[in-house]
């Protein structure tokens, strides 16, 4: 008996296509990470607004802002990140594009924030990098 060239069942190429559970899982995980990153940004913001003693004071830094100003930047950005993360989890069509833009903006803000809290900033940069990749890599058909 000879076997035919195409065996029944799913092929390997369909497992990595646009409808792949891996791609869909990446978008779901990106939504959760945006929520977490937003909550972290809100905590950073509240800490910066509440007390100037929480973060290291930098005297000669190119991007010199008052710690309270950084607190407001992180607080506002964090609230918006939480809303967009929630939108991604709900499947809103607008949320993926806005999520990429906000994750990029948050990545830049955390890069500039690096001297104040290096470990926390690097963790946020890594989260934002994964979110951008996951949202850009998923090629699902838009739901209309």
- Give the predicted TM-score (pTM) of the model: 0.71
Among 104, 58, 49, CA closest to 81: 104
pLDDT in tens, 11-54: 444 444 555 555 567 888 889 999 998 998 899 889 888 876 55
CA distance 19 to 143: 13
């Amino acid at each position: 008996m000879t076997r035919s060239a195409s065996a029944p069942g799913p092929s390997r190429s369909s497992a990595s296509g646009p409808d792949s559970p891996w791609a869909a899982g990446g978008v779901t995980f990106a939504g959760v990470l945006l929520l977490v990153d937003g909550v972290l940004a809100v905590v950073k913001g509240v800490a910066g607004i509440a007390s100037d003693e929480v973060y290291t004071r930098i005297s000669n830094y190119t991007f010199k802002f008052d710690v309270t100003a950084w607190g407001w930047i992180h607080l506002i950005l964090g609230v918006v990140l939480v809303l967009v993360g929630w939108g991604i989890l709900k499947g809103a069509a607008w949320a993926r594009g806005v999520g990429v833009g906000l994750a990029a903006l948050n990545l830049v803000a955390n890069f500039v924030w690096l001297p104040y809290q290096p470990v926390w900033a690097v963790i946020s940069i890594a989260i934002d990098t994964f979110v951008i990749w996951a949202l850009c890599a998923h090629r699902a058909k838009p739901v209309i």
